[in-house]
Amino acid sequence: MIARASLLLLAAPLIAVLVGFLAPYRARRLVAITSIAATALSALGAGVSLWLVGTHPFVLSDDPKIELDTAFGTSVMIADFGDFAVTLIGRIDLVSAVLALMVTLVALAVQIYSVGYLREDQRYVPYAAQVSLFTLAMLTVVVAGDLLTLVIGWEAMGICSYLLIGHDKNVAEAPKAAVKAFLVTRVGDIGFLLGIIILAVGAGSFDITTVLSAVRDGAFSATTLTCVGLLLLAGIAGKSAQFPLHTWLPDAMAGPTPISALIHAATMVAAGVYALARLRPVFLASETVLLTIAIIGAITVVLGALAALAADDIKRVLAFSTMSQLGYMVAVMSLSSDTASAAALFHLLSHAGFKALLFLCAGALIHAVGSNLASEMGGLRKTMPLTFGATTLGLAALAGVPPFAGFWSKEAIVQAAEHAPGAAGAIVTAATWLAIPITAAYVMRLWLRVFFGKYRGRARPHDPPPSMLGPIIALTLPTVGAGLLVLWPLVIDRSTFSARVNAFDDITGLHGYDATYPLFTLMPSAENPSLSPHITTATISTILVLIGAALAWWAWRADRAADPAQRLGALRPVFAQAFYLDELQDALVTRPVQRLARAARFGDERIVDGAVRAVGGGTVTLGQRLAQRHIGLERYLTLTATGAVLLAVIAVVVWEVTR
Amino acid sequence: MSALLLSAALGLPILAAILMLFVPVRQAPWWGLGAAIIILAASCALLAGREHFGMWHEVNVRWVSNLGVNWHLGVDGLSWPLIGLTALLVVGCAAYLLDRPVQRDVRQLLALIFVLQFALVGVFLALDTIVFFVFFELTLPPMYAIIAGWGGAKRTYAARKFALYTLVGSALLLLGVVLLSIDAGTTNLVTLQGGGHGSLAVFAILAVAFAVKSPLWPLHTWLPDAHTEAPTVGSVLLAGVLLKLGTYGFIRVGVGTMPDAAADASPVIGIFAVGAIVIGALICLAQTELKRLIAYSSVGHMGFVLLGIAAGTTAGLQAAVIANVAHGFITGLLFVLVGIIKERYGTGELAQLGGIRFSAPRLAAIFGLATIASFGLPGLAGFWGEAFAIVATVQRGGGLWMTLASCAAIGAALTVAYFLRVLRQVIARPADAVQPTSGWSFGEVIAVVPLVLGVLVLGLWPNGVLSLSLGPVTQIAEALP
Amino acid sequence: MTIDHAALAPLYALSGAILLIFVLDLVPVPRIVLLGVGFAGLGVTAALATTVADERRSFCTEQLCSYVTSRESRIAAAALCATVAIVLGLSVPWLRENRDRAAEYLFLLLGSLLGAICVLGARDVLTLIVALELLTLPLYVLVAFGSRGSSGSVTFFVLSVVSTSVTLLGVALLYAVSGQVHFSALAQASIADDAAPLAALGAALFVAGLAFKLAAVPFHAWAPTTYDSAPIPVTTYLATVSKVGGLFAFVLALNTARSHLSSPGALVSVIAVLTIVIGSVAALRQVRTLRLLAWSSVAQLGYVVAPLVTADGAQAAFAYLAFYVPISLVVFGALLALRGVDDGGTLADLQGVARNRPVLAAIVLFGLLGLAGIPPALAGTWAKVAVVSSLFDGSVGWIEGIVSAAVAIGIVVGAAVYLRLARAMFVAGPPVRRVPISAWIWCALGLSVIATVIASVWPDEIFEAATDVANSLASQVS
């Protein structure tokens, strides 16, 4: 049953991909219908899977049927390398089902929204196909039961992001941004691939279950696991835009806005966090890795928030906020507490909702105003009331205002950090408390600049057409209601659920690492009480939000046309340029590589090939000289006589020597 | 039956070459295409009676008693994929020549292509060291003639460099196979397999011989010139099959017959292979001409093949096999596309090209596909060989091999970098000046479609090739210490 | 002193033909009659040579004989007759134009062949040297037959004198220390310790001087000028028949000298390496086709000498030469067909040949591939394989290593040389006047091509004959 649902989940977007790539460019309508229908079917598949996973009464203990029920995939071996056989495996559990549902729903919203958003675009057809492929790739990552399937989806997403970011031919920097997005993430992927290969070689298989069992059984030394952890982390940092591989994310704004929604909410960046959860036992095996994760996450949280504080482009503000929010998720994964991954994934889900909403709203704003810059907006609450309402909800959720989604999930993170032992916990807690008021400040700044004061643009703004408005309104639901997830245990039978957790742990052999892995719990229960908000921390964070918002309002109030960020003074350009890390990356990596490339070419042409040509030329010259020595009878005679004498000498000398 | 099948696979190209000289010029490409398809069918017929281990078909007749040479041909899972690849690429070449103006008599060009095919198939079928050498050498004259006769502006220089440089390899191959055969007392590659004969010196001679052909950095500089100047069909066959003679020889004659020496030499080969990957990628980053760039990309890709061979595990050799075939498809496709681009836009300079995405979206899409397949995107043909070359390197373990694996992975990232640069320049960058001169012709479609399908099918189902080669590869790998 | 007339029968037949031509020249007879006598003489000689099966000895004193014919040397004689027949066929159009010199030409050519056949059977140094001179002397005149032949003739003559004197000095020294002239006796002669260096020197000079016939370095300098100025049929003869006679002499001398040289391999390796390298490298920039081919034949004879560094390399040497002869006939014959008898011309003169004379161009190409040792002209490939095999048969020391490296270098440089020649034909040129080519030439050329193809596909017979020849020569000195 699961297999059939998952077939629907994957096959539907695959068909959309094929149709989209093979259809002629003018077949807009056909492709639009196919894409939307396919994504909807896929979402249906995800929903059914979730329902099945959540309610199906699994037989416990030693019945192999459980494995069969949750795992699906090709029984055909697609590649037999002798030492390794590659069979693509998919596996659906609670986590993947939930994520798949999230991915397909956001993708559905994006597909519907795009029909309106790209009304004028000649290249809608390949665009829609690429979005379907993007969705399919992310779904592949989500349901991957083996590391190679994971990598296939992982890299396919990279190429999709490349294609879609570079889609808009009117944006001059789009091609560069596209290349940067793919390349920076790919640099991280070197590590990811190497890490996976070391794991697979050690375990003798690419099957995640086998690999994780091998990790548990001590097939790897501590050093190896530290290395593997750090290598995998590189890939995750690339995909999830974590410091220092985050530089692509703000530039990726060059892509069409719906694509930003897709990348920031459902795909790409979510993949990193998901992989972190999926392979959690590997990371938990090394303190060094955990600490590194904590530091990277914490830096990203603060860095993103500060950069968002000064950016003028509303999409850049949202992009930096994504970085910051992803920082939370990654940072909390460094904690060894039981609820850590649950909290991270909870935030991932709620963030997906409100960030998709925010980007679609930003698209509506940009569509209406004709500019990305907040300095050309202002006072839009009157002309675009519906967009204003939706954006307000999204921003409130982002800032963590109760009772919107962000509040609950951020509280879960705070709780997890509070209760975590060791340095990692302290780092994450500090970063969280520091970032909450900053987040509120930039959210407030954005809100005020866009919707209040006087309109500073030229075009006549209006609310978007229904095809764009529909998805926006639909996405306000999770933004407001995602907090209800914490009430979910009321829906399903608690005892069945716990039993299934244990049953799955028996199969995957994950006892002793993380009681909740891989079926992280989204619910407060006897096993993990700390996901629900605690009154003290909730109060503190709400106060911090208010302080941040108030500061921003105070800065804005003096001059309603000016950017409140000017109050930052000398720090503003530093923040706006995201601490000049782009320039640093350019100086430390890009330009040295280019110089090296030029040197390699020079060396190859002048030295390596030069030697070859010198040998050729030298032989020819030698031939010419030799031939010139052979002109004229006198020369012949001298040559011949000398030669004869020489031979005689050689004969005698050799005779003497070898006697 | 075996003899008949083998003779058909080997003999039909020669018949086709002769036929080409007598058909009317105007219809020659059609005849060529027909002949190529029949040869492809004959090659596929070899699949009948395939086995997991050992030869599917074998012929062994005494030929030159005094040199101990036997007319010993056979096909197994190691050689068939390359024979099939050759046949398919020849079909592509013949199709590409349909309704295409060629400077000189197209019949001669087709005849040369078939002669080349004969020689290539001969190398892959040869099970006698001297016969192997003979066919290996026989590939030189037709390829030289194709470059010198139908090439670009600097064709004479490029063709001469190609012929003489690779002849150095052939001369060393002659020394190597003779030394090996005399030491073993037999020229039979089947009996030689598994080792016990030859020394490290003999292996070194053979390794250099094959390294020139593969080509392995720093013995590669004939390649960019040859590729740049060769006509499209020449580049396709050169990159698609000719380079594989080196790597195939490495596996069949080098590692296969001298496992101990191969194991001793493997770190050196590994280091050079990784050097080829990294340096090839760096050079590509600084290249400004499309054809030359793709030529250099072959250096890097063949580096992965050699890395797999150097690692010497079953997975490594399997990776080499699949990377060989994949590179044939992908680079063949790339060269066809570059040929089309150069023809339509009149230039191959990156700085002058641009905006193909807007002026010719289908061409851009397929070029993009070939490119991303070339840098090894998972799920496309290029991925398996490169990833598993690294897997095999990691399998070897230890500081050196782990370093090599890391450097190879970095090289793979650089590969992405330069291909993205190409895409950005050629496909994406808005261009104003250059506009295409024509659309797709029928021949172009026939040439491109099988290659695209090959790239996709091999990417999603590499076992099509791997299951064939597993048996022989396992036997070779097991002999390695 | 016994004289075995059966052994000498082929010589008698050939001498008879020569005399008949000499006589017929006194009375005016049609040229066709002279040619008929010439071909008939060659045919009868070859037939006589092949019909007598077992070993024949002549001019014997006790055990030692001065002239021995074995079955193998007679097969070689027959092959030489066939080669000369082809050379003669190539000469026919020229003879037609130079009617008055036809008899002279035939007389000299067959006289030289007589010398070559004598060399095959010579078993003492004096017979050998006389036979060699008989082989060489007519050539001085034949070379001069070309319109530009005088300089070549003089060069050839002067250098020949030098090298013969070297040989004679060597012979004299050997005779002085051993008192023997027969090869077998010389080889087995016990030399007093204090005379040993003298014997070594003598042996070295004896061998070295005979390198002249092979145009091996350092006695190669005559080749370019002589080849270029002689009529092409004579050049062809120089490149083939003369070389076969020379190799027999060289191998006989070397077999004899081995016991007196402490390291014969070293001496031969010097000659071989220098010959291969200098020959191929100097050929690189040649502009005149025949000079280029002359240098290339120097290099080719280097490959012939190369296997002789090992004690039992003679069979590879003979095999190489046996493959080389038909290939040379093809190349020189096709060049003659293209350019006429008198002047090989320059590479630039070959422009447009591929377009105007595609069949001839293909034949030249085939021959050049053979010289380069590249398939499909497998004859050349087998030759190279045989040389390398022979070098590596047995323990491989540094001498074999160096020589094989030289072979490898020579293969590559040689390919560059032949490539240049081949390429010249494919350069587009002005449409040239198509000179009609005589049926005689087509016939000779066709036979050469067929011989090369047979040698390519069924090389075993050649290998066996070469082995037999080498063995019989080796047995002469044991």
Complex ipTM, two decimals? 0.89
Q: Region A525-532: what's the mean pLDDT?
A: 50
CA distance C470 to chain B (A): 14
CA distance A153 to chain B (A): 8
Name which of B67, B164, B171 is nearest C416 (Cβ-Cβ): B164
Name which of B217, B429, B474 is nearest A82 (Cβ-Cβ): B474
CA distance C313 to chain A (A): 20
Counting as contact any 3 or more CB pairs under 8 A, the partners of A are B, C
Cβ burial, residue A606 (10 Å; 0-12/13-18/19+): exposed
Are A510 and A281 spatial neighbours (Cβ–Cβ below 8 Å)?
yes
Question: DSSP alpha helices (H): ranges in C340-459?
Answer: 353-356, 358-372, 378-392, 398-426, 439-457
Name which of A151, A178, A597 is nearest B283 (Cβ-Cβ): A597
Q: Bin A73: left if φ > 0, else alpha if -120 < ψ < 50, else beta.
A: left
Dihedral sign for Cα atoms in the order A487, A490, A495, A501: negative
Which residue of chain C is at minimal alpha-carbon distance from A642?
Answer: C218
User: Would you call A156 and B379 a contact, using CB atoms and an 8 Å cutoff?
Assistant: yes
pLDDT value at C451 more than 60: yes
Residue scoring higher pLDDT (B413 or A536): B413
Residues 6+ apart with CB under 8 A from C40: C17
Which residue of chain A is at minimal alpha-carbon distance from B471?
Answer: A82
Which residue of chain B is at minimal alpha-carbon distance from A607?
Answer: B218
User: Which among A310, A294, A386 has a CA at the least distance from the CA of A574?
Assistant: A310
The number of CA neighbours under 13 Å toward the Cβ of A336 is: 17
User: Would you call B168 and C408 a contact, using CB atoms and an 8 Å cutoff?
Assistant: yes
User: Would you call C382 and B141 a contact, using CB atoms and an 8 Å cutoff?
Assistant: no
B420 touches chain A (CB under 8 A): yes
pLDDT value at C472 more than 50: yes
CA torsion, points B334, B339, B340, B342, in degrees to nearest 10? Answer: 120
| Residues in a beta bridge with C124 | C182
C401 touches chain B (CB under 8 A): no
Helices B381-396, B290-311: crossing angle, 10 deg rounding: 40
User: Would you call A648 and C159 a contact, using CB atoms and an 8 Å cutoff?
Assistant: no
Q: How many CB pairs under 8 A join B and C?
A: 81
Query: Can you tell me which residue has the tokens 């031919």?
Result: A169
Are C422 and C365 spatial neighbours (Cβ–Cβ below 8 Å)?
yes
Which residue of chain B is at minimal alpha-carbon distance from C455?
Answer: B64
Spatial separation of the C-alpha atoms in residues B19 and A124, rounded to whole Å: 50
| Residue boundaries of the structural domains of chain B | 2-479
Spatial separation of the C-alpha atoms in residues B62 and B65, rounded to whole Å: 7
CA distance B124 to chain A (A): 22
User: Which among A251, A136, A236, A118 has a CA at the least distance from the CA of A188?
Assistant: A236
Chain B positions in Cβ-Cβ contact with residue C351 (cut-off 8 Å): none
User: Would you call B390 and A197 a contact, using CB atoms and an 8 Å cutoff?
Assistant: yes
User: Would you call A626 and C282 a contact, using CB atoms and an 8 Å cutoff?
Assistant: yes
| Residue A457, SS3 per DSSP | coil
Which residue of chain B is at minimal alpha-carbon distance from C392?
Answer: B179
Chain B positions in Cβ-Cβ contact with residue C379 (cut-off 8 Å): none
What percent of chain A shows pLDDT beyond 90? 10
Spatial separation of the C-alpha atoms in residues C15 and B14, rounded to whole Å: 49
Which pLDDT band holds residue A186 (cuts at 50, 70, 90)? Answer: confident
C460 touches chain B (CB under 8 A): yes
| Residues in a beta bridge with B73 | B59, B126
Which pLDDT band holds residue A51 (cuts at 50, 70, 90)? Answer: confident
Q: Region A119-133: what's the mean pLDDT?
A: 87
Helix (H) or strand (E) holding A33: helix A28-55
Spatial separation of the C-alpha atoms in residues C11 and A252, rounded to whole Å: 96
Counting as contact any 3 or more CB pairs under 8 A, the partners of B are A, C
User: Would you call C209 and A633 a contact, using CB atoms and an 8 Å cutoff?
Assistant: no
What is the DSSP secondary-structure string of B359-395? H-HHHHHHHHHHHHHHTT-TTSHHHHHHHHHHHHHHH
CA torsion, points B359, B361, B367, B372, in degrees to nearest 10? Answer: 130
**C-alpha A28: how far from its chain's center?**
29
Cβ burial, residue B328 (10 Å; 0-12/13-18/19+): buried
Which pLDDT band holds residue A524 (cuts at 50, 70, 90)? Answer: very low
B371 touches chain A (CB under 8 A): no
Which pLDDT band holds residue A497 (cuts at 50, 70, 90)? Answer: very low
Cβ burial, residue B169 (10 Å; 0-12/13-18/19+): buried
What is the DSSP secondary-structure string of A213-264? HHHHTT-S-HHHHHHHHHHHHHHHHHHTT-TTS-THHHHGGGS-HHHHHIII
Which residues in chain B (189-218) have CB-CB distances under 8 A to chain A?
217-218
User: Would you call C162 and A646 a contact, using CB atoms and an 8 Å cutoff?
Assistant: no
Say what the pLDDT of residue A483 is. Answer: 66
Name which of A626, A644, A658 is nearest C263 (Cβ-Cβ): A658
Spatial separation of the C-alpha atoms in residues C284 and A626, rounded to whole Å: 10
Kindly report, residue by residue over B108-123, the tens digit of the pLDDT: 899 999 999 999 999 9
Which residue of chain C is at minimal alpha-carbon distance from A646?
Answer: C218
Spatial separation of the C-alpha atoms in residues A474 and A520, rounded to whole Å: 27
Give rounded-to-5 percent helix, strand, coil for chain C: 80, 5, 20
User: Would you call C166 and A644 a contact, using CB atoms and an 8 Å cutoff?
Assistant: yes
Strands B57-64, B69-75: parallel, antiparallel or unpaired by DSSP? antiparallel
pLDDT value at C85 more than 80: yes
Q: Which of B132, B156, B174, B181 to mutate to test the interface with C (most CBs of C within 10 A)?
A: B174
Name which of B133, B135, B175 is nearest C408 (Cβ-Cβ): B175
Name which of A619, A639, A642 is nearest C281 (Cβ-Cβ): A619
Cα Rg of chain A (Å, integer) = 30
Say what the pLDDT of residue B207 is. Answer: 94
Which pLDDT band holds residue C129 (cuts at 50, 70, 90)? Answer: very high
C398 touches chain B (CB under 8 A): no
| Residue boundaries of the structural domains of chain A | 302-587, 595-658
B414 touches chain A (CB under 8 A): yes
pLDDT value at C371 more than 50: yes
A614 touches chain B (CB under 8 A): no
User: Would you call C262 and A650 a contact, using CB atoms and an 8 Å cutoff?
Assistant: no
Kindly report, residue by residue over A69-114, the tens digit of the pLDDT: 455 666 667 888 888 888 887 777 777 788 888 899 889 988 888 8
pLDDT value at A457 more than 60: yes
Name which of A152, A597, A609 is nearest B285 (Cβ-Cβ): A597
Question: DSSP alpha helices (H): ranges in C240-341?
Answer: 241-257, 264-283, 289-305, 314-339
Q: Region B298-317: what's the mean pLDDT?
A: 92
Say what the pLDDT of residue B271 is. Answer: 94
Which residue of chain B is at minimal alpha-carbon distance from A169?
Answer: B430
Residues 6+ apart with CB under 8 A from B474: A82, B314
Which pLDDT band holds residue B431 (cuts at 50, 70, 90)? Answer: low
Kindly report, residue by residue over A419-432, the tens digit of the pLDDT: 777 788 888 888 88
Spatial separation of the C-alpha atoms in residues C300 and C217, rounded to whole Å: 12
Spatial separation of the C-alpha atoms in residues C267 and A228, rounded to whole Å: 64
Q: Region B261-282: what's the mean pLDDT?
A: 93
C384 touches chain B (CB under 8 A): yes
Average the pLDDT over each of A390-394, B402-406, C144-148 and give the range with the smallest value. Answer: C144-148
| Residues in a beta bridge with A146 | A207
Phi, psi of A89 (to 5 degrees): -120, 135
B127 touches chain A (CB under 8 A): no
Spatial separation of the C-alpha atoms in residues A349 and A466, rounded to whole Å: 26
Are A202 and A265 spatial neighbours (Cβ–Cβ below 8 Å)?
no
Are B295 and B227 spatial neighbours (Cβ–Cβ below 8 Å)?
yes
User: Would you call B64 and C463 a contact, using CB atoms and an 8 Å cutoff?
Assistant: yes
C interface with A, Cβ–Cβ < 8 A, is 154-155, 158-159, 162-163, 166, 196-197, 200-201, 203-205, 208-209, 217-219, 221-222, 224-225, 261-263, 266-267, 270-271, 278, 281-286, 295, 413, 416
**CA separation, residue A208 to residues A139, B393, C434 (Å):** 16, 21, 78
Helix (H) or strand (E) holding C59: strand C56-61
Which residue of chain B is at minimal alpha-carbon distance from A590?
Answer: B417
Q: Region B63-77: what's the mean pLDDT?
A: 90
User: Would you call A183 and B412 a contact, using CB atoms and an 8 Å cutoff?
Assistant: no
Q: Region A298-305: what's the mean pLDDT?
A: 90
**CA separation, residue B438 to residues A23, A323, B169, B341, B343 (Å):** 21, 46, 42, 10, 9
Spatial separation of the C-alpha atoms in residues A308 and B368, rounded to whole Å: 35
A27 touches chain B (CB under 8 A): no
User: Which among B398, B426, B396, B393 has a CA at the least distance from the CA of B410?
Assistant: B393
